Amino acid sequence: MILGRMAAAGEEVKLVGRWASPFVVRVGIALNLKGLGYEFSHEELGKKSELLLKSNPVYEMIPVLIHDGKLICESMIILEYIDEVWESVGPSVLPADPYDRAIARFWAAYIDDKIQLIKANFFPSSLRTLRGLNEEAKAEAEEQLANVLQLLEDAFPKCSKGKDFFGGETIGYLDIAFGCYLGWIKAIEKMTGIKALDEAKTPTLVGWAERFCSGDAVKEVMPEADKLIEFTKLIQAIMNAAPGRQNMHVSKNDR
């Protein structure tokens, strides 16, 4: 399946991943921002293709970008690779200023670190169903997520410098790093009744999220909440059917 607006002339550009993975969404957004056509090699849930095993033999995880036979793994590393290789094509993903780049990388690392801690309660990577959260676990997870979002709410004016996005006038590195989770955040809200992005508490982020998700580069790859909920049910079915295989086939990048 070929995606994107314009084929990379004479180049092989292939993305190995799964539509529901926020990490794969990251790479898709970056490629779309650059206007690059690419082939999407979809990984079936519960299995690992030969292509994936050969492309990322160390972690055996998605996403992997294949560019003219070169293999690039880990979503944030792939973002930087795309920005550097296609520097003259489309908007820049990383900030031009070294300090701004450092700040963007800091917040991107913070987001992934905290989301990985929160996911034990919120994201469907265990046998626990989201609707089955007890009140204490639900309250703890809600507080953790609220703290993360509040810090990002406070950081937005400094990072954006008064513009529409963390990256300024256009979607950039930090926007993609955080924005890739918005589909799952909306799914969490629908499944648990928790209001994560609240206009009363995080009005800036609510406005940013609307602008981010309305961008053409994002709309093409951002999963819908209802489809993610159905995906969650599928994960649960696979885990319940073969519990001994869950760690092998449904990893942190298989959301």
State residue 133's pLDDT score: 58
Whether the predicted model's global pTM rises above the 0.85 cut: yes
pLDDT beyond 50 at 5: no
CB 218 within 8 A of CB 30: no
Please identify which residue in the block is written with the tokens 């180049």. 11
Phi, psi angle pair for 254, to nearest 5°: -100, 25
Q: For the chain, what is the mean pLDDT?
A: 87
Identify the bridge partners of residue 37 per DSSP, sorted by sequence position: 7
State residue 9's pLDDT score: 61
What does the pLDDT look like over 49-87, one tens digit per residue? 999 999 999 999 999 999 999 999 999 999 999 999 999
**For residue 76, what is the DSSP state?**
H
Domains and CATH numbers, the chain: 2-85 (3.40.30.10), 98-219 (1.20.1050.10)
Tell me the average pLDDT across 236-255.
Answer: 55
| Residue 89: CB atoms within 10 Å | 14
What does the pLDDT look like over 146-199, one tens digit per residue? 999 999 999 999 999 999 999 999 999 999 999 999 999 998 888 888 889 999
What the block records as the tokens of 124 is 């469907």
Of 100 and 190, the one with more pLDDT:
100
Q: Please state whether the peptide bond connecting residue 63 to the residue before it is cis, i.e. omega within 30 degrees of 0.
A: yes
| pLDDT band, very low/low/confident/very high, at 1 (cuts 50, 70, 90) | low
